[in-house]
Structure 1
Amino acid sequence: MHAAIDALARDLAAAGLTSEGVRALVGDDADAALARMVAEPARRAALRRPGARSTLLQAFVLGDPVPEAAMAEALPAMGVDGALALGIVGRRAGRVPLVAPLVAIRPHAFRDALGKGEWWIASDLDELAGVAPLRPDHVLGVGGAARTLASLLPPLPVDRALDLGTGCGVIALHLRRLASRVVATDISERALWFTGLNARLNGVDGIETRLGSLFAPVAGERFDLIASNPPFVITPRAEGVPAYEYRDGGATGDGLMAAVVGGLAAHLAPGGDARLLGNWETVADEAGIDRVRAWAAGLDAWAIERESLDPVRYAELWLRDGGTLPRDEAHDALLDAWLDDFEARGVSAVGMGWLALRLPATGGASLDRFERLPQAIALEHAGAHLAAAFDAAAWLAGLDDGALALERLERAPDVTEAHHQLPGAAGPNVIELRQGGALGRTLSVDTALAALVGACDGELPVGVLIGAIAGLLEVDEPILAADLLPRVRELVLTGFLRAA
């Protein structure tokens, strides 16, 4: 099999089936349509420009059957028989012999903390290829969730990493850029087949695949970094409700998320990090994000809720994801099953977001942050920022206010200040601090805090700066310090300020 995959990689490269190659073939507009899961413009462009790249695009990107003779020309190293043996195409009888793709193989360009890169990622055919509804053991390709999780990874070299619920293996590939060794687990043999295929296709070694549920395949082992986009979708356990391996973990409610978070402490090495995506329920009067805090007991934790949906919108989201639309006959019965389940358990909302966690190397947890951030976030900086925040929290935990006042701090280079005032006003009505990096926060601040941040250039201790500002504003210095120092801690944690 390895020889066949290596031959496939040579053929894909020779044909130029890359992100830039696809864009050059179909044009910018059709390429943008592909990102929106609209295939027809790219199909029309490919048919106008026949050749190896067009054939591979039609088959493995769009999911179209192609003439066997054209496929043979596009795969000179692998050959059609090699593709048949590998299980990525099947023959179709007809007046003109055809081969039909059995999988998708698409170029995936990425940028992470280590730079730019590109892989070919094989997965099951999906809605772009006209497949609906999806098969229960469907293996997803690269979507928004995988891109988000990859951006959250701490850009730090580690020894061992775990991809829990690997799917097609794209997160395992990202982890291998950081880790010497990666273990990728899944309950799906098909997912592990794709993971192995994608690793070999892209010349990546050091990824071990293991079959099993959650932490069972790695019982007794610890890792420096754990990443997971687990099957967290909250699906009613009712007869007639389809379950998909890639999204439905088989637990009631958010029980699978609780199990994943609760199992981290036993599988992280001291000082090890975890990055997860997940959903959590608001049950009765207990907010979902507060329930996550209980799951993460003993860990440094930063939970970010990006969105919260009421039960109807949540059910509609995942019905559409599975290919069931409002016009479909089964839609209303399935929606009722979801709503009955939520009502029986007293669920009023479902939160969706990110979890960053760390097992303290020594002592107790120093970071306990649970917040809602629905605004747009530039993910390019998220992984490095979250990693720095855990280090900053540990540093701050060792400083009382007196010790903090003796420290020298400096502004992060991406921080800017904006003033807003009414026409003719003597001074600003609103002062904002804005981040170009980190999580892209905008904070409204008062004159004293703005002055302090502006003065933080690493030259003078924070306490000296506060004293000078107190003199300028003609306020009591101890009172001003008591007001500013807790906010300085917040600015250090959120990346506006840092130790000089």
Structure 2
Amino acid sequence: MIPDLSPDRIDRLREAFRAANYDADGVLDLLGPSAHAALGRNEPVPALRATTDAGPLGTLVRLFLLGVAEPREEVQVALGELGVDEALDATIVVADGDQLRAGLDIRPHGTGEDSWWVVSDLDSELRGGRTLEPEHVLGVGHASLSLVRATSRRPVGSVLDLGTGCGVQALHAATHARSLTVTDVSERALALAEATFRLNDVEADVRGGEWFDPVRGRKFDLIVCNPPFVVGPARTDFTYRDSGLAGDDASALVVRQAPSFLEEGGTAQLLASWVHKDGEDWEDRVARWLPPGAGVDAWFVQRDVAEPDLYVGTWLRDAGYDLRSPQGIAKANEWLDWFAANDVIGVGFGFITLRRTDGPGEVVCEDLRQAFDDPLGPESDAWLRRVDWLRAHGSDEELLAARLRTADSTVLEQVSSPGEEGWETFVHRLHRTDGPGWQHEVDELAKSLLAGCRGALPTGELLELLAMGYGEDVEELTANAIPMVRELVRHGMLLPAEWSGEDQ
């Protein structure tokens, strides 16, 4: 059933939220940091205590964030001009005996100075542990937040949010785009996304249809996509996660088709999953997804790999299945049988950045499973800029003529062990202290090269001086150093001397 979330009803709901101060800052002020953090850990009691006698704001927090049934008269006060009867008709709330519960998940979502409300379906926990409905519209979760952090926020003209769901990616895109287009195959998702946009005074061109069909013939400066990337049999148990395509074909489809919908220089940023098969490199697999002959820069970043048992259990719990129930056991067996039949030994998960170029593209696949705090979005912009610089200095002669400097964020770690003449260093490891925290082990000569990269001398001259100082053959030293220098530039540990801090 599609809820009747008419513009007039949403406008009155917005005014009720504003009157109650039901936004990201208002909720935090009411709960306090400790109870707010506890709520994020699914520990409701501190928040329940903090909302006692807190008026309409406390009612809204208990109703929408804690899943508590509230007296009808208190909900009426909190909803203001909208009123309980219309809220019931729109399934914003539902009856629970003489009281009312939330029928939809409507919660504040904020980052930095921006704050919105997001409309979605209640998760399994707030549904009393019941399994989700097939057309369930997912709210703001870990995956969607990770894509938010991994997406570039440079100003752009047009943005496509492919498979918008509740619309959270589009909300963030609205802060730096002139126009928004969103699509989804689910009518329910589109209805909730339109409510989200109306609630936040965000304008978007909302279109229904499969994949790229609703935008055939159009091109965009930025495409963001959190597709139904779950790997498994070709089925659609839940629209938000299952594509109806087998294995990792959904992720492959987006990667293959997205470049043709990008303006020259436009980028696509998406979440994706890929299978790991015995005897096959995951890097080769995902690189084959790119359209043949297309000019595309592609950065595949693998953030995690899950074994089949863990993967299946995680996604079944996510949908609210009791893994000990006959239904849960049957679903798990079906899924694991598919993995076994298709020789899948693991499932990788990560981010993909694509950029349309007018010539041969750069394709890089990297494991990035270490923990780091900085968002990946600014790093994707910087990575593309460094790729451009390396492309412009494609020959060895051009690279050796360039003046480089060691980035301020690059530090050297040395590991030593006791020897005959004291501590003997046997590991030189470079660390980047910002961004994704890249690490590289280097030898004594490379360590000395980076110490000398202060932007004063061309790289080739520095290598000549090192060769003389260490008694090495200059041609052999240079040939060995060039691939390392390119990799350190790609990872932002060596930078062109002329770049300012903002260019990194």
Instruction: Give yes or no for TM over 0.5.
Output: yes
- CA deviation string 1:73-114 (max 9, x = no partner): 2222433345345441234553xxx33221111121224xxx
TM superposition shift of 1:160: 1.2
Q: TM-score, normalised by structure 2?
A: 0.90
RMSD between aligned alpha carbons? 2.1
Contact residue 368 and residue 436 of structure 2 kept, 8 A: no
Provide the rounded CA distance (Å) in 1 between the counterparts of 2:94 and 2:323: 34
Relative to structure 1, is the Cα distance of residues 78 and 453 closer, same or farther in structure 2, using a 3 angstrom cutoff? farther
Q: Specify the code of the residue in structure 2 equivalent to 1:227.
A: V
Aligned sequence identity (%): 37
**Which residue does 1:432 correspond to in 2?**
429
Q: Specify the code of the residue in structure 1 equivalent to 2:156.
A: V
Provide the rounded CA distance (Å) in 2 between the counterparts of 1:432 and 1:286: 30
**Which residue does 1:449 correspond to in 2?**
446
Q: Specify the code of the residue in structure 1 equivalent to 2:370.
A: Q
**Which residue does 1:62 correspond to in 2?**
66
- CA deviation string 1:42-77 (max 9, x = no partner): 23432x334111100011112222112111222224
- CA deviation string 1:168-220 (max 9, x = no partner): 00001112222211111111111111211112222222x11111111111111
Which shifted more, 340-349 or 84-93?
A: 84-93
Q: How many residue pairs align between the two structures?
A: 485
Contact residue 403 and residue 455 of structure 2 kept, 8 A: yes
Contact residue 37 and residue 127 of structure 1 kept, 8 A: no
**Which residue does 1:74 correspond to in 2?**
78
Q: Specify the code of the residue in structure 2 equivalent to 1:288.
A: W
Pair 1:492-2:489 in alignment: yes
Provide the rounded CA distance (Å) in 1 between the counterparts of 2:445 and 2:53: 64
Provide the rounded CA distance (Å) in 1 between the counterparts of 2:342 and 2:454: 53
Contact residue 162 and residue 227 of structure 1 kept, 8 A: yes
Contact residue 302 and residue 355 of structure 1 kept, 8 A: yes
Provide the rounded CA distance (Å) in 1 between the counterparts of 2:17 and 2:465: 65
Q: TM-score, normalised by structure 1?
A: 0.91
Which of 298, 303, 325 in structure 1 is aligned with 2:322?
Answer: 325
**Which residue does 1:364 correspond to in 2?**
360
Which shifted more, 301-310 or 33-42?
A: 33-42
- CA deviation string 1:150-169 (max 9, x = no partner): 11212321111111111100
**Which residue does 1:375 correspond to in 2?**
370
**Which residue does 2:173 correspond to in 1?**
175
**Which residue does 2:94 correspond to in 1?**
90
Alignment map for 1:414-425 (pairs within 5 Å): 414-422=409-417, 425=422
Pair 1:184-2:182 in alignment: yes
Q: Specify the code of the residue in structure 1 equivalent to 2:226.
A: N
Contact residue 408 and residue 461 of structure 1 kept, 8 A: yes
Provide the rounded CA distance (Å) in 1 between the counterparts of 2:69 and 2:459: 68
SS of equivalent to 2:76 = helix
Pair 1:406-2:424 in alignment: no
Provide the rounded CA distance (Å) in 2 between the counterparts of 1:82 and 1:452: 71
Relative to structure 1, is the Cα distance of residues 136 and 415 closer, same or farther in structure 2, using a 3 angstrom cutoff? same
- CA deviation string 1:276-326 (max 9, x = no partner): 111111345323332111011432111112222222222112111111233
Relative to structure 1, is the Cα distance of residues 331 and 347 closer, same or farther in structure 2, using a 3 angstrom cutoff? same
Provide the rounded CA distance (Å) in 1 between the counterparts of 2:243 and 2:43: 29
Structure 2 unmatched ranges of 5 or more: 1-5, 499-504
Q: Specify the code of the residue in structure 2 equivalent to 1:39.
A: P
Provide the rounded CA distance (Å) in 2 between the counterparts of 1:131 and 1:58: 18
Contact residue 404 and residue 462 of structure 1 kept, 8 A: yes
Which shifted more, 248-257 or 31-40?
A: 31-40
Structure 1 unmatched ranges of 5 or more: none
Regions of 4+ moved over 4 Å: none
